[in-house]
Chain A
Amino acid sequence: MPHTHVDTGSALGIHKGKDVVCMSDVGFSYDGRPALEGVTLHVEQGTTLGIIGPNGGGKSTLLKLALGTMPPDKGTITIEGMSPKDACSKGNVVGYVPQRHTLDWSFPITVRQVVELGLYGKKGLFGRFNKADREKVAETLEAVGMSKLANQPIGGLSGGQQQRVFIARALVSTPRILFLDEPTTGIDQAAQESFAALLETVKAKYGLTIIMVSHNLRSVIATCDKVACLNRTLHYHDHPVRLSKDVLFKVFQCDMDAVIDPHTPDSCCGHDHALSPGHGHSH
């Protein structure tokens, strides 16, 4: 299966800056069934990249490989020249916002305590918090608009508030690259718009490179300046408005007319399309 090289810096004639995330010919299989094949992707500093694709297309697998939770079967991944595992444990290189369902929201812990845990990578196993750390936590809560709820147990939060807590936890260690996994799943339209605005704000404030995995095309078009389409292999490139119907059909296996026009209600987003020749292992 041919693979597509994705170069996020080339399309609009922009001077190519430093690549902070580099994936070369990455492949991965679960029990012999390929989930990713020949994925090559270079993400330039300062980009907001959306990775879209159907469920089971390998998006979460790609994230897990980028975060170093498992090594690729084939190919290489580097983050600022380091292995993903080293980059993540350093504490101030990579921030990660996982899907909200990964946490037990009835756990007895406050918003502030969850955000503090994001400093673990910087402080280490026996590290203790000092005044500067507490101020950093307070500043980050302010940046995401959660200061007033800092001492609130996480159990009473809305979906949008939970998302902000996760973002704060990821940002508190001042990372340079932020990965987000399906950040708009399960939150209403107003919260999605609020999330898009928040992402713009924190990107400017922290100078972030953002990589967002989502099956929500509308959200990706609203927030990302570059997009890649993944369905086991990378089919795509470039600016979301330039996504052709052919590419989207190939990736999602359905007619995406409604999605390309952002003013039309999005009837395809989030549907679990039956997959096809490009289908990867369900992840």
Chain B
Amino acid sequence: MKFILYLFILSIFSLISCSESPYMQGKRLYTANCQNCHMEDGSGLAKLVPSLQESAILGSAMMSCIIKNGLQDTIRNNNTFLVREMPAFGKLSATEVTNIVNYINHSWHKDFKETHITEVEDALKSCQ
């Protein structure tokens, strides 16, 4: 009986831990800054807002610059995006950008590797 109880508690724990991203701060920042356009599941909106799920930009150092400075020119994905530019989120600190980058990569990048804040700081220094 006790064994079953332990098993039950263990399974509840594993359920809870599976449903939550380890990057909660990043998730909150994503919800506040990115989700309105890129959607909760990162799927974007047709050809108006690029999907993050299959984006080639994931995992690259470019991410930090795009989040911080936006993209004034049209974002193209196989040359099918016609309008829209991404606004800048200049108020975000390097820490916040790191949190967002890690949340996005952990959620949708196949080869997830944690990005360290020093990498983001270096990337932000060399933004064009």
Task: Note whether A and B form a binding pair.
Answer: no
A residues neighboring B (CB under 8 Å): none
